[in-house]
Amino acid sequence: MRSKLITATTALVLHASGSAYAQSATLTIWSWNVAASALKSTVEGFNKQFPDIKVDVQDLGNQQVFDKTLAACAAGGDGLPDIVTVENFEAEIFWSRFPDCFANLKDLGYNADMQAKFPEFKRTELEVGDVAYAMPWDSGPVAVFYRRDYYEKAGVDPKSIATWDDFIAAGKKISAANPGVVMGQADFNGDSEWFRMLANEQGCGYFSTDGQSITINQPACVQTLEKVKAMKDAGTLTAANWDEKISSNTAGKVASQLFGGWYEGTIRSGSPDLSGKWGVYAMPGMTADSPHAANLGGSSLAINANSQNKEAAFKYLTYALTTNEGQVTMLKSFGLVPSLLSAVQDPFVNEPQPYWGGQKIWADILATLPKIVPSRGTAFQTDADAIYKTTQTKYFAGGYPDAKAALDDAAKQIASATGLSIAQ
């Protein structure tokens, strides 16, 4: 068992944020599901340093947190808790519509040294000008989760899969050697996850990194859509929604799943009898020289601008998010992948994981964080995503002559919906 004593680094960070007895308060936090459980797991360690600050984590469900936060901000912040969980994917919707709803963390002590503890891609959507609306929490560094036994039976070494063309070729071998098993699955009917992951790896997304123009029809994004369709046409990817993927994992009907690192907990908890049969490897790229890194998912914590406990709330954020102890507690307990760059040096991160065949999967996954290219969501992320998903369905059904035509159409629709210009 790791020592419960606070490290020197942790002690300095906590001291910098104020005395442990400087303020008595009860903090209320809105979150959901495993994220809420993870926050609860940090309370014991936090209270050893700040016994007078109580923490009440409320699990409201993902959609409920979004809807209630949106409504509360529209009402001038009335009804908001002290701390709110905000998904990075949707973050800019709040900042753009309600810039006064959340506290500027820089006013509470979130200085340049603290900001530098996190990768740029996690901060891009959380900061506007000189305002830091939220602090990075968990991230979703993408990796391929794979069945060791299926790959081995087909004579496929994951290390040999450097490109998506390699992935397609490997899939044909694996399916041939393991009848009834597909190489991978994608939610072609209800999600855009594969397009967003592959596009992010190439530095392309719906919008430019400054959020001022539409880039979905740029060459890298076109190449991404072409490759996703090629995998679908080759049978490398078959359609499956979230629940169907989990069922396929347990039933042994799929050889690989591409997701953010948080999917580790989904496989481990959903398929406990398959311990030792799963492994992890870096995502392939368009070329062997690609970054082999992308992000899917992840959240942040923001403080209510009207909270009477802002200083206490910032102490909690400092402990939970900027110390290895806080971040790794959540990783160990519930598989939430840290955004904190120093977490990769934690002893637990470098331990072999029994479920994963003794692989040091967390060291492998977290090592990709510095390589991930920032991607902006902007206030129009949900609009753009809905348009893309409709376009993807039409393109796969033969409704466009090619991927460029499909994404040109998507760009025009996004421009009409948002008023932004299409990048040249």
The neighbour count for residue 199, using CB atoms within 10 Å, is: 28
- Provide the whole-model pTM: 0.85
Strands, E assignment, 23-150: 25-31, 53-59, 83-87, 127-128, 131-132, 135-147
State residue 237's pLDDT score: 98
- The span from the CA of 375 to the CA of 200, in Å, is 7
Mean pLDDT of 373-388: 89
H/E stretch holding 300 reads strand 295-303
**Could you tell me what percent of the chain has a pLDDT over 70?**
95
Looking at 2-6, 214-218, 369-373, 401-405, which range is the least confident one? 2-6
State residue 375's pLDDT score: 85
The neighbour count for residue 45, using CB atoms within 10 Å, is: 18
Max mean pLDDT among 230-239, 341-350, 379-388 falls in 230-239
Using 50, 70 and 90 to split pLDDT, how confident is the model at 110?
Answer: very high
Mean pLDDT of 149-177: 98
State residue 190's pLDDT score: 87
Q: 324-334 and 8-16 helices cross at what angle (nearest 10)? A: 110
Q: Which domains does the chain have, with CATH numbers?
A: 8-140+297-361 (3.40.190.10), 142-295+374-422 (3.40.190.10)
State residue 23's pLDDT score: 65
Give per-residue pLDDT as tens, 261-287. 989 988 998 999 999 999 999 999 999
CB 256 within 8 A of CB 249: no
For the CA atoms of 206, 168, 294, 207, the dihedral, rounded to the nearest 10 degrees, stands at -10
- The span from the CA of 323 to the CA of 86, in Å, is 20
**Nearest to residue 193, comparing CAs of 139, 142, 232?**
142
- Tokens at 129, concatenated: 């000008």
CB 271 within 8 A of CB 146: no
Per-residue pLDDT at 377 exceeds 80? no
The DSSP annotation for 40-64 comes to HHHHHHHHHH-TTEEEEEEE--HHH
Per-residue pLDDT at 44 exceeds 60? yes
Per-residue pLDDT at 142 exceeds 70? yes
Contacts of 256 (CB under 8 A, 6+ apart): 144, 145, 146, 147, 171, 183, 184
Mean pLDDT of 303-325: 97
- The span from the CA of 391 to the CA of 397, in Å, is 10
Mean pLDDT of 374-380: 84
State residue 211's pLDDT score: 87
Give per-residue pLDDT as tens, 61-104. 999 999 999 999 999 999 999 999 999 888 999 999 999 999 99
Mean pLDDT of 368-378: 87
Mean pLDDT of 223-242: 97
CB 158 within 8 A of CB 143: no
State residue 59's pLDDT score: 96
